[in-house]
């Protein structure tokens, strides 16, 4: 009996020692993500699949409702990184902060037009009331560019009504009749059609929608930690492309629905647009810079290498995940 007790205590001490070493080995990263985190979905998958944990990371996602608040938290050090908040990247430079993007998995405009009346062209929105997010937000910037490309003046040709919140709030205003149209997250397309609204998809527009942003000082001072995070992020994005069934649980949780049609639509969109190499196309980066110029004309002249550093991707060799050009 005494020998059994000694063996039991020995095993218990070994277990606790191993557990303590594992706990010490885990590094923590706080990462800001959007309130509706479609643009940070690989992070949710990596959490669900234990990919961060396998890299020795504990990642704490912090949901924040706006890009300005996200980058305030990043600059102050309240979070270590931001995922999926593109429109605060360049303005942070105007404030004197050295913030860079180290990769992006989604590089297309992620919105569709939702309207009460069926239209076949954006120009038919002339004279209508359009719901947008706050000035400087991602939907606001994209609306400016899409209207300009269609030959419409955002001030003279229609009425832009700014409202807080995200796609859900703008859709709510549309349903109440307060606006005639809005840009909404593409994930809402099946739901809007079911409710009798009309959806207009424009041509796919390159746009760095989902950058992983960090302060340059963090990228240099905590490079090993950031490298683990980026590696896990790329692996989770690759998992989204290759494993539909395994992607369903975090997708169901994010969308808060079990509707098979909605989930299938969402997965097909993610599958088609995910870029697991995390290398954003040049035109997607240029369009982000161009759109940022609507907030501050000086931002339109910022050089790409001031806001992008893809050296971690080069070190990780993520180009092996690159898909055949679509």
Alpha helices in 212-259 (DSSP H): 216-221, 223-242, 244-255
| Out of 23-37, 58-72, 121-135, 277-291, least confident range | 23-37
Q: What is the mean pLDDT of the chain?
A: 89
Coil, strand, or helix at residue 206? strand
Q: Is the pLDDT of residue 23 over 50?
A: no
24 pLDDT tier (thresholds 50, 70, 90)? very low
Which range among 6-15, 51-60, 154-163, 281-290 shows the weakest confidence by mean pLDDT?
Answer: 6-15
Determine the CATH number of domain 111-200.
3.40.190.10
Question: Per DSSP, which regions of 55-174 are E strands?
Answer: 57-64, 81-83, 99-104, 111-115, 129-132, 159-162
Q: What is the mean pLDDT of residues 14-38?
A: 72
Residue 122's SS3 state is: helix
Q: Where in the chain is CATH 3.40.190.10?
A: 26-107+207-321, 111-200
**What is the bridge-based pairing of β-strands 198-200 and 111-115?**
antiparallel
pLDDT at 95: 82
pLDDT in tens, 151-207: 999 889 999 998 877 788 888 899 899 999 999 889 989 988 988 999 998 788 899
Q: Is 43's pLDDT higher than 90?
A: yes
Predicted confidence at residue 171, as pLDDT, reads: 86
When the candidates are 3.40.50.2300, 3.40.190.10, 3.40.50.300, 3.30.460.10, the CATH number that belongs to 26-107+207-321 is 3.40.190.10
pTM score of the predicted model: 0.86
| Per-residue confidence (pLDDT) for residue 75, from 0 to 100 | 95
pLDDT at 138: 84
């Amino acid at each position: 009996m005494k020998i059994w007790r000694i063996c039991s205590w020995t095993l218990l001490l070994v277990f606790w020692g191993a557990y303590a070493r594992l706990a010490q080995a885990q590094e923590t990263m706080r990462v800001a993500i959007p309130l509706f985190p479609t643009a940070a979905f690989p992070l949710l998958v990596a959490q669900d699949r234990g990919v961060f944990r396998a890299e020795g990371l504990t990642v704490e996602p912090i949901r924040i409702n706006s890009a300005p608040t996200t980058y305030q938290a990043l600059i102050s050090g309240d979070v270590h990184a931001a995922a999926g908040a593109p429109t605060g990247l360049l303005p942070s430079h105007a404030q004197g902060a050295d913030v860079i993007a180290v990769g992006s998995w989604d590089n297309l405009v992620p919105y569709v037009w939702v309207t009460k009346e069926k239209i076949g062209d954006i120009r038919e929105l002339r004279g209508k009331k359009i719901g947008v997010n706050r000035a400087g937000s991602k939907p606001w910037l994209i609306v400016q560019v899409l209207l300009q490309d269609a030959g419409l003046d955002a001030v003279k040709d229609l009425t832009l009504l700014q409202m807080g919140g995200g796609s859900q709030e703008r859709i709510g205003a549309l349903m109440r009749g307060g606006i005639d149209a809005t840009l909404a997250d593409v994930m809402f397309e099946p739901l809007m059609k079911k409710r009798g609204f009309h959806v207009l998809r424009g041509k796919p527009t390159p746009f760095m929608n989902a950058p992983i942003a960090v302060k340059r000082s963090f990228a240099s001072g905590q490079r090993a930690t950031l490298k683990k995070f980026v590696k896990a992020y790329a692996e989770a994005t690759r998992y989204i492309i290759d494993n539909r069934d395994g992607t369903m649980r975090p997708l169901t949780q994010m969308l808060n629905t079990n509707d098979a049609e909605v989930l299938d639509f969402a997965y097909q969109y993610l599958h088609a647009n995910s870029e697991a190499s995390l290398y954003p196309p040049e035109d997607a980066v240029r369009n982000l810079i161009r759109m940022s110029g609507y907030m501050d004309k000086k931002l339109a002249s910022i050089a790409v290498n001031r806001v992008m550093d893809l050296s971690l991707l080069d070190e990780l060799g993520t180009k092996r995940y690159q898909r055949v050009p679509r």
